[in-house]
Amino acid sequence: MNTAPGVWLSGLAAVAALLPVLGLVAAAGRVRSAYWGMLLLCGLGVVLCAGFLIGDSAAASLSVPIGLPGAGILLALDGLSAFFLLLLMLIGTAAATTALDDDGGYAATSPLLPVFVAAMATTLLAADGFSLVLGFETMSLASFGLVLTNHREPPVRAAALLYLGMAAIGGACLIPAMALLVHAGPAGVDLGFAAIRGHAPHGWRAIVILALVLVGAGSKAGLAPLHVWLPPAHAAAPSHVSALMSGAMTKVALYVIIRLLFDLCGTGQPVWWGVPLMVLGAVGAVLGALRANIESDIKAVLACSTVENVGLIAAGIGLALAARAADLPALAALAMGAALLHAMAHGLFKALLFLGAGAALHGAGTRAMDRLGGLIQRMPVTTGCMLVGAACLAALPPTSGFAGEWSLFQAMIAGPRLGGVVLQMLICVVALLMALAAALAAAAAVRLIGVAFLGRPRTPRAAAAHEVGYAAQLAMLGLALLSLLAGLFPGVVLSAAAAALRQTVGLTMGDRASLLHISPQTSTTGYSAPAIAILLGLAIAGVAWVVRRRAVAGHRRGPAWDCGFGAPPAWLPFGDPITQYGGGSFGQPLRRALGVVILGATERVDMPEPGQTRAARLVVRSKDPATALLFQPVIRWRGALSAQADRLQFLTIQRTLSLIFAVLVLFLIVIVLVEQL
Amino acid sequence: MTPRIAYGAFSYDLAHLLGAAVLVLSFALLYQRRITSIIGFYAVQSVLLAVAAAWQGWVQDSTHLYITALIAFAAKGVAIPVALRNIVFRLRIERSVDAALGVFPTMALGVGLATLSILVVLPTTVESQTLTREDLALALSVVMLGLLSMITRRSAITQVIGFMSMENGLILAAVGLPGMPLVVELSVAVLVMVAFVVFGVFFFRIRDQFDSLDVSHLDRVGGTHR
């Protein structure tokens, strides 16, 4: 079945090269043509990736004579990059379709959106250090521009600046990591991945590379504790951009982690290499899921849930890394397969949820949970798609989220065969944290749907919400369908990841993944989504039948305990919406139980003074521990350092000269010491 | 043509001696307290520099080093010291003293710096010929001592002398290196002349403002944002 692998690669390279041209087309004012072109190119990319993966083609590489003088850039397509490219192109197609909706105000993003997708595709196709960094940094810059789309609002500018700062930190770590990886041979520096694979790093070099990659790519993926930029940036960006950033860009960063740590660092790394990824992933998962229950902005909720899911995937990657080092290929394949499956599942359903949140923003004019409500009446298609996405987010069987998290948990449960007692205890703790995160994510999904889409509208604007255009509906429906299919047939996704698994851990899931069935071990029973779906369907139908059969004919309305949410009085046409459960009240038990400890949440009742006519307010504050424990101390140190440096500006002439003299003498002493040693 | 300068030859010894004499005068400049004697030692150092340059001109058989020597003698050996003395007498500070750190600490620092220079230059220039290396070491020591006297002195005049003795070190290095073009030395000399004029104007302005040449008075007006 080896049908000329170069064809797929050339096609994808052409797609990546033509997308920036569309950016120019859009800049020239032909916005709709650009989005149509992006739709076609991304669709073509989907076909090419699918063709490559279905054909199980051999890896191909292609040298492009542009880029570094004398070297050009090297592109390659293998199972790992094709898997992630497929996800990217699917989400790109959906984003372009959404943007074709006329009245969405999507024109402002048109020049940069194709460039953003092209940069991500370049990162995924890169086969040398230069093009990988080039693609990664272009991706950061393009997405920074896209986050800034509504730059007149101060929070957007603040979010974009935070994002740019984190991207700069990421770049400042990724580039040295790449520099440490490349091998300087007698024939000069060879940036190609093939040369790097031939000289895998070891010793302190490998440890530094691990740390730099975790910070450099992890900050982009949203790995704790560098996830603080995600909620504000995703909330600030236009929704189809958020969908791409959350669904595809975080996955591209995870791809970079996999590519560098699994592929380029070689197989000779110690077992503890997986530990940082597991610990950071589990901590981030709990943090993200808990924050998702507290945020009041629906897009920030989704972004926090992205932090959670990236954490889960990273924990799976870490387990695979440790298992591969411990020479347990079956476990490594299970963990890696689960991570890839969940990456695909999360990419699809999170893009769907962000597009749905964008539809809610478009239809009801706000992202604030406490100003929405009752959208199911006015936006049935959007709400239906959101329900599918939220079911995935809550990991309900038989959705794709369940398949991904179930396999991740199976891998974790199989994990204690690994390493010594310390590592085994650690894996148990990681598994516990992941379970907590999954439960919190389910609560967050219920909160999102229940508060924003069910109930009664809380504002007249929400009551007058209108459904989005057909193009945006089509994009959401397509992603919902894909999510459902991925949930029903996770074995198909795993077989698409087979080449990636063979490449990273040396073993595929084999017969543990089939069309209808996946199982953690060959001998044990596993999970068959279609069967679960049929059983659930039968159970629901049976319950409906019994209820209908035993119901009393006709119905009457009687007084009932209504939690203070009774029928609306006549003078309030929409009821008294404030008496409904809101986002804050739904999250209160979790906030009090866990938020006080983890997020330092505080509540204060702001009572009016006697005589004042304003209402009393409940002021709730919480702070991400990454901000409190990492960023604020760093900011304080930076301030102290710059104050010290500032004092140098006001030295006397003599002290300035003495300083220069002392530095000169110091350098000379260094020269002497270097000479002597 | 065999090099006229080689280890053990008379020309080598004399060049070495002259360079060392310039360095010794730098030490003398370092601990002198009376302004007039500092100017005097500076003049002697410049004259010795001129002799060293002339000797190098003869050894290297290059005419332009004689021009360098002439400039050094006329400008730094005669004109600048005379002008400085005039300034000192016009400002009526000929009796004032400008104490540096004290003889022993200054000398200890100076010896340390000279040692450091030798340690730096000798190992890093193994490929060059012997005289160039030692000449460079001496010149670097002179530069370092000039810098040291700049930062230990309080009066503007003595600081300027420190600056110019540092420049003497640069010229010493330049004449010791065969093939250094004249234009470099000329431009350094012109630079020093211009700097001297600027400093001269400055002395009078500082004096007018603060009734003293002590530059620590300038600190009060330096940092307006403090």
Neighbours of A338 (CB within 10 A): 33
| pLDDT of amino acid A185 | 67
| pLDDT of amino acid A638 | 93
CA angle B207, B213, B217 (to 5 degrees): 95
| pLDDT of amino acid B173 | 85
CA angle A159, A163, A168 (to 5 degrees): 150
* Cα→Cα distances A574→A266, A577, B117, Å: 63, 7, 88
Provide the percentage of residues in chain A whose pLDDT is more than 90.
Answer: 52
CA distance linking residue B151 with residue B100, whole number of Å: 9
Provide the percentage of residues in chain B whose pLDDT is more than 90.
Answer: 11
With 80 as the cut, is the pLDDT of residue B216 above it?
no
**In b/e form, how buried is each residue of B26-43, taking b as 16+ CB within 10 angstroms?**
bbbbbbbeebbebbbbbb
CA distance linking residue A291 with residue B119, whole number of Å: 62
Q: Is A587 inside any structural domain?
A: no
Q: Is A45 inside any structural domain?
A: yes
- CB-nearest partner of A652 from B117, B144, B216: B216
| pLDDT of amino acid B224 | 46
The stretch A592-598 carries a mean pLDDT of: 87
With 80 as the cut, is the pLDDT of residue A590 above it?
yes
Q: Is A588 inside any structural domain?
A: no
* A381 and A485 together in one domain: yes
Tell me the chain B residues in contact with residue A650 when contact means C-beta distances shorter than 8 Å.
222-223, 225-226
| pLDDT of amino acid A544 | 94
Coil, strand or helix: which one is A391? helix
With 80 as the cut, is the pLDDT of residue B7 above it?
no
* A172 and A91 together in one domain: yes
* Cα→Cα distances A215→A124, A172, A308, B76, Å: 19, 9, 17, 60
Q: Is A397 inside any structural domain?
A: yes
Q: What is the mean pLDDT of chain A?
A: 88
Sign, Cα dihedral of A177, A178, A179, A185: positive
- CB-nearest partner of B116 from A658, A668, A676: A668
CB contact under 8 A, B151 and A657: yes
Domain boundary at A172, A199, A226, which? A199
Instruction: List for chain A the helix, strand, coil content (%; round to 5).
Output: 70, 5, 25
* A308 and A161 together in one domain: no
* Cα→Cα distances A284→A223, A503, A625, B75, B212, Å: 6, 28, 11, 74, 67
| pLDDT of amino acid B226 | 42
Tell me the chain B residues in contact with residue A670 when contact means C-beta distances shorter than 8 Å.
none
Retrieve residue A338's tokens: 């689960």
Give the chain B residue nearest A668 (alpha carbons). Answer: B120
Q: Is A489 inside any structural domain?
A: yes
* A176 and A275 together in one domain: no
Sign, Cα dihedral of A652, A658, A661, A667: negative
**Pairwise pLDDT comparison (B209 vs A534), residue with the higher score:** A534
* A176 and A303 together in one domain: no
| pLDDT of amino acid A347 | 96
| pLDDT of amino acid A527 | 87
Retrieve residue A401's tokens: 């989220």
A12-18 contact pairs (CB < 8 A, 24+): A12/A45, A12/A48, A12/A49, A12/A77, A12/A85, A12/A121, A12/A125, A13/A62, A13/A64, A13/A75, A13/A125, A15/A41, A15/A42, A15/A44, A15/A45, A15/A48, A15/A89, A15/A121, A16/A118, A16/A121, A16/A122, A16/A125, A17/A118
Phi, psi (rounded to 5 degrees) for A615: -80, 155
Side chain identity at residue A42, one-letter code: C
| pLDDT of amino acid B167 | 85
Task: Give residue-wise pLDDT tens across range A513-522.
Answer: 787 788 877 7
| pLDDT of amino acid A381 | 95
Q: What is the mean pLDDT of chain B?
A: 80
* A5 and A106 together in one domain: yes
Coil, strand or helix: which one is A100? coil
Owning domain of residue A97:
1-199
Task: Give residue-wise pLDDT tens across range A221-278.
Answer: 999 889 999 999 999 999 999 999 999 999 999 999 999 999 888 888 888 899 999 9
**Pairwise pLDDT comparison (A47 vs B104), residue with the higher score:** A47
Q: Which of A132, A110, A128 is nearest to A120 (CA)?
A: A132
The verdict on B223 touching A (C-beta cutoff 8 Å) is yes
Whether residue A527 contacts residue A519, with contact meaning beta carbons closer than 8 Å, is answered with yes
- CB-nearest partner of A657 from B120, B144, B150: B150
The neighbouring-strand residues paired with A188 are A185
Least confident of A65-69, A241-245, A542-546: A65-69
| pLDDT of amino acid B2 | 45
- CB-nearest partner of B123 from A652, A669, A675: A675
CB contact under 8 A, B123 and A672: yes
* A191 and A282 together in one domain: no
The neighbouring-strand residues paired with A189 are A184
* A186 and A68 together in one domain: yes
The residue assigned the tokens 């009551």 is A463
Task: Give residue-wise pLDDT tens across range A596-639.
Answer: 888 888 888 888 888 888 888 888 888 888 888 888 999 999 99
* A326 and A195 together in one domain: no
Provide the pLDDT confidence category of residue A576 given band limits of 50, 70 and 90.
low
Q: Which of A197, A536, A489 is nearest to A341 (CA)?
A: A489
Domain boundary at A180, A199, A218, which? A199
Domain count, chain A: 3
Neighbours of A133 (CB within 10 A): 21
Give me the DSSP letters along A624-677: -HHIIIIIHHHHHHHHHHHHHHHHHTT--HHHHHHHHHHHHHHHHHHHHHHHH-
Phi, psi (rounded to 5 degrees) for B102: 120, 150
* Cα→Cα distances A658→A255, A653, B102, B152, B167, Å: 52, 9, 17, 9, 18
- CB-nearest partner of A653 from B147, B218, B225: B218
Whether residue A419 contacts residue A278, with contact meaning beta carbons closer than 8 Å, is answered with no
Q: Is A616 inside any structural domain?
A: no
Sign, Cα dihedral of A165, A168, A174, A177: negative
* A278 and A195 together in one domain: no
The stretch B159-176 carries a mean pLDDT of: 85
Q: Is A569 inside any structural domain?
A: no
- CB-nearest partner of A654 from B113, B151, B225: B151
CB contact under 8 A, B119 and A675: yes
**Pairwise pLDDT comparison (A563 vs A47), residue with the higher score:** A47
Side chain identity at residue A127, one-letter code: A
Phi, psi (rounded to 5 degrees) for A618: -105, 110
Give the chain B residue nearest A675 (alpha carbons). Answer: B123
Q: Mutation test of the interface with chain B: which of A647, A659, A660, A665, choosing the one with the most B Cβ atoms within 10 A?
A: A665
The verdict on A667 touching B (C-beta cutoff 8 Å) is no
Whether residue A584 contacts residue A296, with contact meaning beta carbons closer than 8 Å, is answered with yes
Domain boundary at A153, A179, A199, which? A199
Tell me the chain B residues in contact with residue A665 when contact means C-beta distances shorter than 8 Å.
113, 116, 144
Tell me the chain B residues in contact with residue A669 when contact means C-beta distances shorter than 8 Å.
116
| pLDDT of amino acid A248 | 95
**Alpha-carbon Rg for chain A in angstroms:** 27
CA distance linking residue B44 with residue B32, whole number of Å: 14
The verdict on A671 touching B (C-beta cutoff 8 Å) is yes
With 80 as the cut, is the pLDDT of residue B206 above it?
no
Retrieve residue B65's tokens: 């080093």
CB contact under 8 A, A652 and B150: no
Helix (H) or strand (E) holding A75: strand A73-77
Alpha-helical (H) ranges within A453-562 are 460-463, 470-488, 490-496, 498-505, 529-550
| pLDDT of amino acid A216 | 94
Task: Give residue-wise pLDDT tens across range A154-191.
Answer: 999 999 999 999 999 999 999 999 988 887 666 677 78
A656-664 contact pairs (CB < 8 A, 24+): A657/B147, A657/B150, A657/B151, A658/B151, A661/B147, A661/B148, A661/B151, A664/B147
Q: Which of A666, A671, A662 is nearest to B119 (CA)?
A: A671
- Whether omega for the bond prior to residue A398 falls within 30 degrees of 0, making it cis, is yes
Least confident of A409-413, A446-450, A509-513, B35-39: A509-513
| pLDDT of amino acid B222 | 53
* A178 and A292 together in one domain: no
Task: Give residue-wise pLDDT tens across range B113-157.
Answer: 999 888 888 777 766 666 577 788 888 899 999 888 888 887 778
The stretch B107-111 carries a mean pLDDT of: 89
With 80 as the cut, is the pLDDT of residue A571 above it?
no
Whether residue B100 contacts residue B35, with contact meaning beta carbons closer than 8 Å, is answered with no
* A291 and A169 together in one domain: no
The stretch A310-338 carries a mean pLDDT of: 92
CA distance linking residue A439 with residue B75, whole number of Å: 88
Give the chain A residue nearest B148 (alpha carbons). Answer: A661
Provide the pLDDT confidence category of residue A311 given band limits of 50, 70 and 90.
very high
With 70 as the cut, is the pLDDT of residue A1 above it?
no
Q: Is A482 inside any structural domain?
A: yes
**Pairwise pLDDT comparison (A308 vs B9), residue with the higher score:** A308
Retrieve residue B181's tokens: 């073009």
Task: Give residue-wise pLDDT tens across range A114-136.
Answer: 999 999 999 999 998 899 999 99
Q: Which of A271, A536, A285, A323 is nearest to A404 (CA)?
A: A285
